[in-house]
């Protein structure tokens, strides 16, 4: 696979590490409940189709990216920095 | 005597002005440059090349390319010996040495020929059925016997002496195959200005045009090939790669290829690799890999001398070799007649032509007349005769009458299969095409186009047309504008009608479907009778289509017979999906430079050479090589050395490299807030100039890493991590910042490599440091107390950082200088410390001392422990949120009987503790039900004079004083230990603060 | 007494005991040349989010524009290489004045010295691209990687930052920064890869 890093251009997937689904949002603060945190840490969908995922350009610019990848075909629609995409940022 | 009796007097692409000498099974033969081992052996009249896998039947050359299932030999000798190489693609070189395989004692006389013995027993599913019970028989009896009888050659017994490489290439358009379609695709794409890579597995470009007598634009096809190659060579953005097999297609237009850089010479020239594994990144790719001819399934079809008709043409036209003198052609289509035509042109007479079709084209009849051959329309070959090669065939004519014909070569043709394997590598399913009677590519992966024979368009005109069109389309799709469009070259006429037959019925004897795995039509029938319907199951049950050739010549007949047996059409039966690699690839070509000591990069500390000079023994810690201990002459074992090192620190002063610790520079207004969120303990109150121990959890509540972090300035911290986790922690921090809290002003960068760092530990450490630091820096206990952390200078202004931190529990410091000064620092410290007997110590002594102080390290930070498990639960702040806070509070993690950190000491001081030993209460049986935890780390404590250990034990801290069994089933030992505090030495910490 | 600089405190750069000057691999006209730059100074600059101060002050102090994409601005004495979003690698060709420069920049950026953290080399020559292609998973073709382009990537599993400088008399030229601790592994790969073309190694000054 090649991931189109918005900073570095298309790079071999070997340069990246994969984290997983980008949708879950960390329940922030002292008021967060254990149940919500449990959901955030462990519960994931297993979608067939385009999915937003977190990838880290470890051997490149060290940016965390939100990559929209089709889980069946591996077709990548987009890759954007999480900093701009606000992926994972608590509301 | 004619040295090469089957070499035609002229013609072919071999260089007759030069002779190459080679050996096969100990006998010496001659060949020419341009020959393959197969063509040279055939020129010398050698037809028996090996024995088959299961039945040890004699086997000769079937094909002319990489699909060859039969002619597998061991190439070269000694460490370079390579089994299962295909004689049809081995380029002849001077001194080549090959031996046949699968025979004992000799190729001609094989005692293991099970055909004569128990052949009928080895039917489909034989292994599954026969060797099911009892299990012990498998190892002791069945396997050794089968291994002897079966197998595909012997691997070399020595390490491969050659160098292999990996390489990466990028192009706009990759063209796979340099036949007519590939050459014209490369040309049109190249002319448009696109960067083109043209790969071919052969050692000469031209594909089938090398093997055929065809005309392009009214002239011999060779002229067109030469002109095309000349133009390609002149295009600066076109790269042609010979001897390069594209073996896999991966996501996003990435291809794997192997370049046999020096397989065609005896030994690679100095500084050159044997093979090079390529990863090719493409925007577009054109598959122009041609087609593979199909054999016919009939009894005795595996006898040497039965050869594909297209291969016969190739041996005649390209190599100037006549594979036989009395020739019969057995064909189900026009292609067999092309062979007749070329043989006639070469002045060869034929005995007979058997065409399974009842209607024969008048032009073919005329051709047969010229060849002096009888024609059997609507006939079939029902048997072959002979021992080690064909002596005759039995032909059944259309009326059912049998005629025996004498012959030494039977050319067979049953149509062609597109070489579409790469189109399947991304799950594409080939589709049966009734018109061309073959599977053709189905849905193609993005960016890939297929043309010519590979697409089931088998004529030369179609190949040229497809190539030109696809080359242009690919270039246009990625933004190139072809300047002008050249007309597509014209060709001479050809027909390619075929009416394949999937097996000849009625004969007697074994009719082989898969030559390489000895799968017969009967095996396929049996599989069908036993209920197998899927071709994937058929493959696994009968082994049809396995091994080096992956069924390139056999799959189709197998599934056609399966279709017939199950009453389905071929299109409904489907074909197996092809997976990479298309052709066998040496592991060396995949590993490249990365083998042995270069298996992966090794990281060396800036003080590495100094440590080596001091006699250090090194140990791998993550990617790093760290000094483990520094043996002195006369020291008998590592324990003696380590004990000396520990005592030196505890009584005087020691010196240890700690450069390998991860160091992360963190700056920005919100740094303290950021640390609050990633560490379990508090950071806002940490004053400038101080360090603090910090513990980090993963979000699931388990400990991730620990280390000290210092506040160098108000908004500038320096974090340290463990050596092994540095990269992981950096990634985690970047995640926390970029994904979770992008609004925080935190700016971090790894400075691990910038600083050389040394621990100076022991009661005399301050005196040594005073000698090193510039005098302006006061390091008295008052001015520079425990956990002080400051920027200092050494040697008159060299910037340095000094930390008063201790892993050993002694008065200790860590001094960091820019890495270029690392070695100078060590030498200066050694010089300054020599009056105090300063002693270099390694990770082993460090480990002993941390254990004596009850500090946790890698064995305890194992990803399964919580802060509470490690006795560090009190560090967890309740006033702030931090990563892992909530998950660490889960009920199960708070259970009092969770294994928790304790110290352990032997009841009998002479006994040695063993890490990994499990704890069992006294009087209980040692089994998993009674398992109460295990010993994580042990060391011999020179300070106490006995072994000590840390362990994780249920209810641990409340059981101090209790005695328990430490059972080590791996080493078969058991000792009794007493549970104690994990801090063994200086429990009050007076030395630390001294 | 420690104030006096002693001769024992001499620098030992990352290539010491790893690279020998001279020809390696095939004899004859070398297809690849390696130069080890002396006195290369490096520092990471990370800008304050949303601040334009760094751009202004770098222009003022070293006369270079801060690159906004994967490229390097170079003068005879200094360079500013894009080094990730909001990050740059500042380089200077001489030691003198560098710490003063970085301290002036520290108001507008987080500055971290990296001069000792990298092993630097300049690879040039007719076959330079072919050597690098044995480890680089990026396209170094003239059009894909023009003069002034930079990339953070890995060669043969070793993290590097490289940029292309002005072509030499016999082909393209690349400056490469290698993680210091992996210099020996990098060189093992590089030397093996360059051997077939012949490689001349020089260490000026
Ligand atoms: Zn990137």
> What is the three-state SS of B607-643?
CHHHHHHCCCEEEEECCEEEEEECCCCCCCCHHHHHH
For residue B155, what pLDDT is reported?
84
Task: Quote the DSSP letter at residue A67.
Answer: E
- Chain B touched by A15 (CB under 8 Å): no
- C188 or B133, which is more confident: C188
Percent of chain B with pLDDT over 70: 95
For residue B143, what pLDDT is reported?
58
Residue B478 pLDDT > 90: yes
Q: Give the Cα separation of B580 and C128 in Å (integer).
A: 32
Give chain C's length: 205
Contact B866, B888 (CB under 8 A): yes
For residue B548, what pLDDT is reported?
84
Residue B207 pLDDT > 80: yes
Q: Which of C74, C98, C113 is the endpoint of a domain?
A: C113
Query: pLDDT tens digits, residue range C58-71?
Result: 999 999 999 999 99
Q: Which residues pair with B427 in a beta bridge?
A: none
List all chains that touch chain C, counting a touch as 3 or more CB pairs closer than 8 Å. Answer: A, B
Its domain, for residue C193, covers 22-38+117-202
Q: Give the Cα separation of B152 and B166 in Å (integer).
A: 27
Pick the CATH number of A2-84 from 3.30.2270.10, 3.20.20.120, 3.30.565.10, 3.90.76.10: 3.30.2270.10
Q: Looking at beta carbons, which pairs linking B343-348 to residues 24 or more positions away fall under 8 Å?
A: B343/B312, B343/B316, B343/B371, B344/B370, B344/B371, B345/B213, B346/B8, B346/B11, B346/B316, B346/B317, B346/B322, B348/B316, B348/B322
Tell me the pLDDT of chain C averaged across its residues.
94
Q: Helical H runs in B15-111?
A: 37-43
The tokens for B711 are 């506040």
Query: Nearest to residue A3, comparing CAs of A39, A43, A57?
Result: A57
CATH number of the domain where residue C140 is located: 3.30.1360.120
- B151 falls in which pLDDT band (50, 70, 90)? low
- C3 falls in which pLDDT band (50, 70, 90)? very low
Query: pLDDT tens digits, residue range B296-313?
Result: 999 999 999 999 999 999
What CATH number does the domain located at B1-159 have?
Answer: 3.10.20.440
> In terms of domains, do C64 and C129 share one?
no
Percent of chain C with pLDDT over 70: 96
CB pairs under 8 A between A and B: 71
Residue ranges covered by each domain of chain A? 2-84
Instruction: Tell me what the mean pLDDT of segment C163-189 comes to.
Output: 97
Q: Torsion-angle region of residue B386: left (phi > 0), alpha (psi -120 to 50) or beta?
A: left
What is the location of CATH 1.10.10.1100 in chain B?
502-568
Task: Quote the DSSP letter at residue B453.
Answer: G
Instruction: Tell me what the mean pLDDT of segment B24-46 comes to.
Output: 97
Q: Which of C113, C147, C174 is the endpoint of a domain?
A: C113
- C1 falls in which pLDDT band (50, 70, 90)? very low
What is the location of CATH 3.10.20.440 in chain B?
1-159
> In terms of domains, do C80 and C133 share one?
no
For domain B295-414, say whether CATH 2.60.40.1120 is its number: no
Q: SS3 of B361, please?
A: coil
Contacts of B890 in chain A (CB under 8 A): 34
What CATH number does the domain located at B164-291+418-477 have?
Answer: 3.50.50.60
- Chain A touched by C117 (CB under 8 Å): no
Task: Quote the DSSP letter at residue B736.
Answer: I
Query: pLDDT tens digits, residue range C15-44?
Result: 999 999 999 999 999 999 999 998 999 999
> In terms of domains, do C121 and C197 share one?
yes
For residue B574, what pLDDT is reported?
81
For residue B278, what pLDDT is reported?
98
Packing angle between helix B555-565 and helix B521-529, nearest 10 degrees?
A: 40
What are the CA-CA distances from residue B335 to residues B355, B379, B498, B578, B905 (Å)?
A: 11, 16, 8, 26, 85
Query: Nearest to residue B932, comparing CAs of B896, B980, B897, B882?
Result: B897
Tell me the pLDDT of chain B averaged across its residues.
93
Let me know if residue C11 belongs to a domain.
no
For residue B866, what pLDDT is reported?
97
For residue B1, what pLDDT is reported?
43
Let me know if residue C14 belongs to a domain.
no
Q: How far is B590 from chain C (nearest CA, A)?
A: 12
Let me know if residue C32 belongs to a domain.
yes
Q: Nearest CB to C153: which of A59, A63, A83? A: A59
Pick the CATH number of B502-568 from 3.30.70.1250, 3.30.365.10, 3.40.50.10440, 1.10.10.1100: 1.10.10.1100
Q: Give the Cα separation of C144 and C132 in Å (integer).
A: 15
- Strands B20-24 and B97-100, sheet pairing: parallel
Contact flag B796-C3 (C-beta cutoff 8 Å): yes
What total of structural domains would you count in chain C?
A: 2
Q: Nearest CB to C112: which of B592, B749, B827? A: B749
Task: Quote the DSSP letter at residue B51.
Answer: E
Query: pLDDT tens digits, residue range B637-653?
Result: 999 999 999 999 999 99
- Interface pTM (ipTM) of the complex? 0.96
For residue C52, what pLDDT is reported?
82
For residue C2, what pLDDT is reported?
42
> In terms of domains, do C174 and C185 share one?
yes
The tokens for B707 are 């280390």
> In terms of domains, do C129 and C33 share one?
yes
**Location of structure tokens 């062609």:** B416
Q: Is the peptide bond before B581 cis (omega within 30 degrees of 0)?
A: yes
Q: How far is B878 from chain A (nearest CA, A)?
A: 9
CATH topology of domain B894-994: Elongation Factor Tu (Ef-tu); domain 3 (2.40.30)
Instruction: Tell me what the mean pLDDT of segment B833-845 comes to.
Output: 97
Query: pLDDT tens digits, residue range B107-142?
Result: 776 666 655 444 555 566 655 665 555 556 656 665
Please, what's the largest Cα pairwise distance for chain C?
58
Residue B263's contacts (CB-CB under 8 Å, 6 or more residues apart) are B90, B91, B243, B274, B275
Instruction: Tell me what the mean pLDDT of segment B411-416 comes to.
Output: 98
CB pairs under 8 A between B and C: 162
> In terms of domains, do C109 and C165 share one?
no
Q: Nearest CB to C13: which of B751, B796, B820? A: B820
Q: SS3 of B175, please?
A: strand
- Chain B touched by A59 (CB under 8 Å): no
For residue A90, what pLDDT is reported?
39
Residue C170 pLDDT > 70: yes
Contact C72, C173 (CB under 8 A): no
**If you measure from the C-alpha of residue B237 to the centroid of ligand 1, how many angstroms do you get, rounded to a whole number?**
28
CATH number of the domain where residue C91 is located: 3.30.70.1520
Contacts of B660 in chain C (CB under 8 A): 181
> In terms of domains, do C197 and C121 share one?
yes
> In terms of domains, do C31 and C53 share one?
no
Chain Cα centroid distance, residue B200: 22
Q: Nearest CB to B731: which of A17, A33, A37? A: A17
Contacts of B889 in chain A (CB under 8 A): 34
Q: Give the Cα separation of B783 and B265 in Å (integer).
A: 73
Q: How far is C131 from chain B (nearest CA, A)?
A: 9
Q: Which of C84, C113, C142 is the endpoint of a domain?
A: C113
For residue B338, what pLDDT is reported?
97
């Amino acid at each position: 696979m090649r991931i189109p890093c918005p900073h570095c251009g298309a790079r071999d997937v070997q340069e990246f590490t994969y984290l997983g689904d980008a949708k879950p949002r960390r329940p922030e603060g002292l008021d967060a409940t254990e149940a919500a945190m449990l959901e955030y840490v462990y519960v994931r969908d297993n979608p067939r189709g385009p999915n937003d995922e977190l990838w880290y350009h470890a051997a490149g610019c060290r940016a965390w990216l939100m990559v929209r990848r089709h889980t069946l075909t591996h077709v990548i629609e987009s890759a954007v920095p999480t900093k701009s995409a606000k992926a994972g940022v608590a509301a | 005597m004619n040295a090469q009796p089957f070499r035609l007097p002229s013609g072919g692409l071999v260089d007759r002005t030069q002779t190459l000498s080679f050996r096969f099974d100990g006998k010496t033969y001659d060949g020419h440059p341009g020959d393959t081992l197969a063509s040279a052996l055939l020129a010398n009249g050698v037809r028996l090349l090996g024995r088959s896998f299961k039945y040890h039947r004699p086997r000769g050359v079937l094909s002319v390319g990489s699909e060859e299932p039969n002619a597998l030999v061991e190439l070269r000798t000694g460490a370079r010996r390579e089994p299962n190489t295909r004689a049809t693609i081995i380029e002849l070189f001077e001194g080549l040495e090959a031996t046949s395989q699968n025979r004992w004692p000799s190729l001609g006389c094989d005692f293991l020929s099970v055909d004569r013995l128990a052949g009928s027993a080895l039917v489909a599913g034989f292994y599954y059925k026969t060797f099911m019970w009892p299990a012990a028989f498998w190892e002791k009896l069945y396997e050794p016997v089968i291994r002897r009888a079966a197998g595909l050659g012997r691997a070399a017994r020595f390490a491969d002496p050659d160098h292999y490489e990996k390489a990466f290439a990028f192009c706009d358009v990759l063209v796979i195959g340099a036949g007519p379609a590939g050459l014209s695709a490369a040309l049109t794409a190249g002319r448009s200005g696109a960067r083109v890579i043209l790969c071919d597995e052969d050692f000469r470009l031209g594909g089938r045009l090398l093997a055929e007598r065809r005309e392009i634009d009214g002239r011999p096809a060779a002229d067109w090939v030469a002109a095309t190659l000349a133009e390609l060579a002149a295009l600066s953005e076109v790269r042609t790669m010979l001897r390069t097999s594209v073996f896999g297609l991966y996501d996003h237009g990435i291809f794997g290829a192997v370049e046999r850089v020096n397989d065609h010479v005896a030994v690679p020239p100095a500084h050159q690799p044997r093979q090079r594994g390529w990863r090719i990144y493409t925007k577009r790719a054109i598959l122009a890999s041609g087609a593979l001819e199909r054999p016919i399934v009939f009894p005795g079809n595996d006898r040497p001398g039965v050869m594909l008709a297209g291969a016969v043409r190739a041996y005649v036209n390209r190599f100037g070799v006549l594979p036989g003198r009395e020739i019969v052609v057995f064909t189900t289509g026009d292609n067999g007649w092309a062979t007749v035509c070329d043989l006639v042109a070469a002045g060869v007479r034929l005995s007979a032509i058997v065409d399974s079709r009842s209607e024969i084209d008048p032009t073919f009849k005329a051709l047969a007349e010229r060849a002096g051959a009888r024609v059997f329309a609507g006939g079939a070959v029902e048997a072959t005769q002979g021992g080690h090669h064909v002596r005759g065939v039995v032909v059944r004519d259309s009326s059912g009458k049998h005629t025996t014909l004498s012959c030494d070569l039977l050319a067979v043709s049953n149509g062609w299969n597109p070489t579409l394997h790469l189109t399947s590598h991304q799950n594409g399913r080939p589709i049966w095409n009734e018109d061309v009677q073959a599977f053709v590519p189905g849905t193609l992966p993005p960016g890939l186009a297929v043309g010519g024979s590979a697409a089931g368009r088998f004529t030369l005109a179609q190949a040229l047309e497809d190539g030109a069109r696809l080359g242009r389309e690919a270039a246009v799709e990625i933004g190139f504008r072809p300047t002008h469009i050249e007309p597509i070259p014209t060709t001479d006429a050809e027909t390619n009608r075929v009416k394949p037959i999937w097996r000849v019925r009625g004969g007697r004897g074994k009719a082989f479907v898969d030559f390489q795995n000895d799968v017969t039509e009967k095996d396929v029938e049996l599989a069908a009778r036993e209920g197998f319907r899927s071709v994937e199951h058929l493959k696994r049950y009968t082994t049809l289509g396995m091994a080096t050739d992956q069924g390139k010549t056999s799959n189709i007949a197998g599934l056609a017979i399966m279709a017939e047996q199950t009453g389905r059409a071929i299109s409904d039966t489907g074909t197996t999906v092809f997976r990479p690699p298309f052709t066998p690839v040496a592991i060396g070509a995949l590993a490249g430079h990365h083998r042995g000591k270069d298996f992966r990069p090794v990281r060396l500390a800036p003080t590495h050479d100094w440590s080596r000079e001091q006699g250090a023994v090194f140990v791998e810690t993550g990617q790093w090589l760290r000094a483990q201990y520094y043996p002195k002459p006369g020291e008998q074992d590592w324990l003696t050395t380590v004990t000396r090192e520990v005592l030196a620190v505890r009584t005087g002063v020691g010196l240890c490299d700690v450069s390998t610790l991860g160091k992360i520079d963190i700056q920005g207004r919100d740094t303290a807030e950021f640390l609050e969120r990633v560490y379990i303990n508090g950071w806002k109150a940490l004053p400038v100039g101080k360090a603090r121990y910090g513990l980090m959890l993963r979000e699931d509540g388990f400990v991730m890493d620990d280390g000290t972090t210092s506040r160098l300035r108000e908004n500038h911290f320096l974090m340290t991590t463990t050596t092994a986790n540095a990269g992981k922690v950096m990634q985690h921090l970047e995640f926390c910042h970029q994904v979770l809290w992008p609004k925080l002003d935190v700016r971090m960068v790894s400075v691990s490599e910038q600083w050389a760092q040394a621990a100076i530990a022991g009661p005399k450490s301050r005196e040594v440091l005073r000698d090193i630091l510039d005098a302006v820096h006061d390091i008295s206990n008052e001015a520079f107390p425990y956990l002080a952390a400051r920027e200092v200078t050494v040697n008159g202004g060299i910037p340095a950082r000094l930390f008063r931190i201790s892993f050993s529990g002694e008065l200790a410091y860590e001094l960091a200088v820019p890495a270029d000064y690392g070695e100078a620092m060590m030498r200066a410290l050694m010089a300054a410390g020599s009056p105090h007997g300063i002693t270099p110590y390694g990770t082993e002594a460090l480990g002993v001392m941390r254990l004596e102080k009850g500090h946790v390290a890698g064995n305890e930070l194992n990803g399964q422990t919580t802060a509470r498990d490690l006795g560090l639960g009190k560090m967890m702040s309740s006033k702030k949120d931090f990563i892992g806070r909530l998950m660490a509070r889960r009920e199960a993690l708070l259970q009092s009987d969770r294994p928790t950190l304790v110290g352990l000491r032997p009841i009998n001081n002479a006994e040695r503790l063993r890490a990994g030993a499990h704890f069992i209460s006294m009087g209980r049986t040692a089994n998993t039900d009674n398992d109460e935890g295990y010993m994580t780390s042990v060391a011999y404590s020179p300070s106490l004079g006995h072994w000590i250990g840390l362990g994780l034990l249920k209810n641990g801290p409340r059981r101090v004083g209790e005695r328990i069994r430490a059972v080590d089933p791996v080493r078969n030992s058991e000792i009794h230990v007493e549970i104690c505090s994990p801090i063994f030495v200086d429990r009050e910490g007076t030395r630390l603060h001294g | 007494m420690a104030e006096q600089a002693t001769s024992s405190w001499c620098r030992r750069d990352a290539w010491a005991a790893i690279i020998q000057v001279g020809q390696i691999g095939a004899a004859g006209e070398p297809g690849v040349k390696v130069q080890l730059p002396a006195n290369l100074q490096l520092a990471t600059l990370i800008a304050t989010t949303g601040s334009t101060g760094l751009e202004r002050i770098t222009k003022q102090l070293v006369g270079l524009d801060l690159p906004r994409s994967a490229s390097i601005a170079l003068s005879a004495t200094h360079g500013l290489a894009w080094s990730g979003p909001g990050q740059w690698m500042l380089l200077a060709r001489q030691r003198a004045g560098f710490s003063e420069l970085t301290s002036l920049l520290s108001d507008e950026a987080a500055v971290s010295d990296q001069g000792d953290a990298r092993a630097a080399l300049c690879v040039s020559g007719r076959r330079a691209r072919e050597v690098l292609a044995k480890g680089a998973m990026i396209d170094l073709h003239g059009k894909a990687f023009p003069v002034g382009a930079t990339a953070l990537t890995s060669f043969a599993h070793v993290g590097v930052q490289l940029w292309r400088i002005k072509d030499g008399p016999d082909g393209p030229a690349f400056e490469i920064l290698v993680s210091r601790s992996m210099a020996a592994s990098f060189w093992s790969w590089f030397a093996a890869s360059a051997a077939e073309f012949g490689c001349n190694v020089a260490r000026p000054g």
